[in-house]
Amino acid sequence: MATTSHRALRLLSLLGSRATWRLRDLADRLAVSERTVRRDLDTLRELGYPMVTVRGPDGGYRLGSGHTLPPLLFDHDQALAVAIALQTAPSSVFGLQDDTARALVTVQQAMPDTLRAAMESLRLTRLRNYWEFPAPSIDPAALTTVGTAVRLRHVLVAEVLRPDGTRAAPGEPDFTAAHRLEPHHLVVWAGRWYLIGHDLDERRWRVDRVDRLHPRPTGRRFTPRELPGGDIAHFVMSSHDRGDTPAAWQRTGSARLALPAHVAARWAPGGSVVEHLDAGHSRLTLGAWSWAGIAGILATFDTDLTEVQPPALVRACRQLADRYAGVGEPGSARPG
């Protein structure tokens, strides 16, 4: 029974991947007889999936209109979880980009219109980072509000929150007034969610951490603008005021790298902060359980380091260099 169920799901996936399949081709892909395929098609019909027979020399079978599929029993929060999971899964398991993209489309086709809209609100751009870490806590309602505004091109009113999630009161040194934003792109990088938007009050583009925003919808549409430079990844990496702070570690240090920001950001550990300095240099701020741990991570970038801070990190880098200098060739005597 498990084999039959698995084969039926594969058959359903194949039928959803292109307009029409010949019976012989389906049998070849599933490695079964044509009779077995017909039986599986009947099984799918009994479950409520519309299997359409196409007559003629180029005929075969195809999946009927998506709106007749049985709706998946997901509530709003479950739909949100599915959208996030399918879009962020490739960051932790390599080789899933195509599979998760197809799965997302398949799930959306089977959903009622209201839940499909909720999932489409969270279409995001991923900037690849090879050291992933758990994302900061984000209010699902805020994420939905931002995603919907990006999709519908609606202006947002957003208040900027402190790192601890509180809002500064008027008169406090770090108080900032709410911003009217045109939200253009929702981006996830290194476990953080960012909103690229145009600030209508300050008349400039900005990048904000979604977990640092308290957004409110306005329902007022805006006309999309051209992002300066047109490169979403470069714009995020080169924005110094996007609200990043290093993750909490026992030790935190920084160094100037002879690498452009987009290269450093691609390999930077999760929870670190990459700053764009110029076309060939960036500053990396990161943490670890020890100074030696930070020194070891910096060594993986295989580039010149300057402006290393604090002094304890400088000493750890030198100690690491001395330790490596003492490593002999295989079979050679170890230094005394």
Residue partners of 41: CB distance under 8 A and separation at least 6: 11, 51, 61
Classify residue 166: in a domain, yes or no.
yes
- Residues 233, 146, single domain; the answer is yes
Residue 197 lies in domain: 140-237
31 and 103 share one domain: no
pLDDT for res 130: 46
Most confident of 4-8, 15-19, 273-277: 273-277
Greatest mean pLDDT range, 3-17, 87-101, 155-169, 242-256:
155-169
Does the residue 330 lie in any domain? no
| Model pLDDT, residue 161 | 87
Q: Is residue 133 part of a domain?
A: no
Mean pLDDT confidence for 162-174: 83
**Does 160 fall in a domain?**
yes
Whether residue 152 lies inside any domain: the answer is yes
User: Do 111 and 161 belong together in one domain?
Assistant: no
Cβ density class 143-155: b for 16+ within 10 Å, e for less:
bbbbbbbbeeebb
pLDDT at 124: 63
Tokens of 271: 């929870």
Is residue 144 domain-shared with residue 213, that is, in the same domain? yes
Residue finishing a domain among 24, 40, 68: 68
> Considering the entire predicted model, what is its pTM?
0.56
Whether the CB-CB separation of 118 and 83 falls below 8 Å is answered with yes
181, burial (CB in 10 Å: exposed 0-12, middle 13-18, buried 19+): buried
**SS3 of the chain:** CHHHHHHHHHHHHHHHHCCCECHHHHHHHHCCCHHHHHHHHHHHHHCCCCEEEECCCCCEEEECCHHHCCCCCCCHHHHHHHHHHHHHHHHCCCCCHHHHHHHHHHHHHCCCHHHHHHHHCCCCEEECCCCCCCCCCCCHHHHHHHHHHHHHCEEEEEEECCCCCCCCCCCCCCCCCCEEEEEEEEEEECCEEEEEEEECCCCEEEEEEHHHEEEEEEEEECCCCCCCCCCHHHHHHCCCCCCCCCCCCCEEEEEEECCCHHHHHHHCCCCCEEEEEECCEEEEEEEECCHHHHHHHHHCCCCCEEEEECHHHHHHHHHHHHHHHCCCCCCCCCCC
Any domain includes 149: yes
Higher-confidence position of 181 and 246: 181
**Distance (Å, whole) CA 18 – CA 72:** 22
Q: Are residues 214 and 256 in the same domain?
A: no
Is residue 1 scored above 50 in pLDDT? Answer: no
% of the chain surpassing 90 pLDDT: 29
Q: Are residues 157 and 104 in the same domain?
A: no
Asked if pLDDT for residue 24 goes beyond 70, the answer is: yes
Peptide bond before 112: cis, by omega within 30 degrees of 0?
no
Is the pLDDT confidence value at 65 over 90?
Answer: no
Over range 210-235, report the average pLDDT. Answer: 90
pLDDT score for 317: 95
Q: Are residues 166 and 221 in the same domain?
A: yes
| pLDDT for 122 beyond 90 | no
User: What average pLDDT does range 302-324 have in this prediction?
Assistant: 94
Which of 16-30, 63-77, 206-220, 225-239 tops mean pLDDT?
A: 206-220
CA 257, CA 140: separation in Å to the nearest integer? 36
How many domains, in total, are found in the chain? Answer: 4
Q: Which of 4-18, 240-254, 272-286 has the highest mean pLDDT?
A: 272-286
Nearest-angstrom CA–CA distance, 281 and 260: 5
Do residues 18 and 64 share a domain? yes
pLDDT of 155 > 70? The answer is: yes
Q: Which of 25, 45, 68 is the last residue of a domain?
A: 68
pLDDT by residue (tens digit) across 128-152?
Answer: 554 444 455 677 788 889 989 999 9
Distant-in-sequence contacts of 91-99, Cβ < 8 A, 24+ apart: 91/126, 91/128, 91/129, 91/132, 92/132
Q: Which of 237, 261, 286 is the last residue of a domain?
A: 237
245 found inside a domain: no
State whether 190 and 230 are in the same domain.
yes
More confident residue, 125 or 94: 125
Q: What's the confidence (pLDDT) of residue 238?
A: 73
252 compared with 189, residue with greater pLDDT: 252
Q: In the predicted model, is pLDDT for residue 222 greater than 90?
A: yes
Supply the CATH number for residue 27's domain. 1.10.10.10
Tens of pLDDT, residues 227-263 = 988 888 778 877 777 777 766 788 999 999 999 887 8
What pLDDT sits at residue 14? Answer: 81
Neighbouring C-beta atoms of residue 328, cutoff 10 Å? 9
| Averaged pLDDT, 208-223 | 93
Q: What is the mean pLDDT of the chain?
A: 80
Q: How large a percentage of the chain has pLDDT more than 70?
A: 77
Is 231 found in the same domain as 175?
Answer: yes
Question: How confident is the model at residue 204, as a pLDDT?
Answer: 94
The predicted pLDDT at position 95 comes to 54
Calpha distance 253→264 (Å, rounded): 15
Confidence class for position 68, pLDDT limits 50, 70, 90: very low
Residue 46 lies in a domain: yes
CATH of the domain at 302: 3.30.70
> Taking the CA atoms of the chain, what radius of gyration do you get in angstroms?
26
233 and 150 together in one domain: yes
The bridge status of strand 213-221 relative to strand 204-209 is unpaired
User: Are 54 and 80 part of one and the same domain?
Assistant: no
